[in-house]
Structure 1
Amino acid sequence: MIGQRRHFQVAHRPRNDDESILPLINIVFLLLIFFMVAGQLSAIDPFEVEPVESAVDGQPGPDEFMVIIGTGGRLAVNQDEIELDDLAPLVRGHVERHGDEARVRVKSDGRAEAVEVVGILERLREAGIERIDLLTVPEA
Structure 2
Amino acid sequence: MKRYTKPIHVPKPLAHRRADSSLALINVVFLLLLFLLVAGTLRPPLPDEFEWAETSSESGKGNIQNSLVLTRSGNLWFAGTELDEQGLIDYLAQSPEFKDNMSVQVDRRAKMEAVAQLAQQMRSAGVKNLSFIAIEANEP
What CA distance in whole angstroms lies between the structure 2 residues aligned with 1:76 and 1:58? Answer: 21
CA displacement at 1:126 relative to structure 2: 1.6
The one-letter amino acid of 1:138's match is: E
**Aligned residue in 2 for 1:71:** 72
The match for 1:106 is 104
State the alpha-carbon separation in 2 of the partners of residues 87 and 102 from structure 1.
Answer: 19
Relative to total residues, which structure has the larger helix share, 1 or 2? 1
Structure 1: segments with no counterpart, 5+ residues: 1-8, 13-18
Instruction: Tell me by how many angstroms 1:111 deviates.
Output: 0.8
Could you say what the CA RMSD is over the residues aligned between the two structures, in angstroms? 3.6
> C-alpha offsets along residues 7-66 of structure 1, whole Å, 9 cap, x if unaligned?
xx99x9xxxxxx966335424422322422453521112443211112327674422xx3
Spell out the pairing of 1:21-100 with structure 2 (5 A cutoff): 22-23=22-23, 25-39=25-39, 41-55=42-56, 56=58, 60-63=63-66, 66-83=67-84, 85-86=85-86, 89-90=89-90, 92-94=92-94, 97-98=96-97
Residue 110 of structure 1: how far off its partner (Å):
0.2
TM-score, normalised by the number of residues in structure 2: 0.63
Give aligned pairs, total. Answer: 124
- Say if 1:59 and 1:129 are closer, same or farther in 2 by CA, change over 3 A: closer
Tell me the alpha carbon deviations over residues 58-116 of structure 1, each in whole angstroms, 9 at most, x when there is no partner.
674422xx322112232223432133x32662355146x338x5332111110111222
Alignment partners' CA distance in 2, 1:133 and 1:81: 20
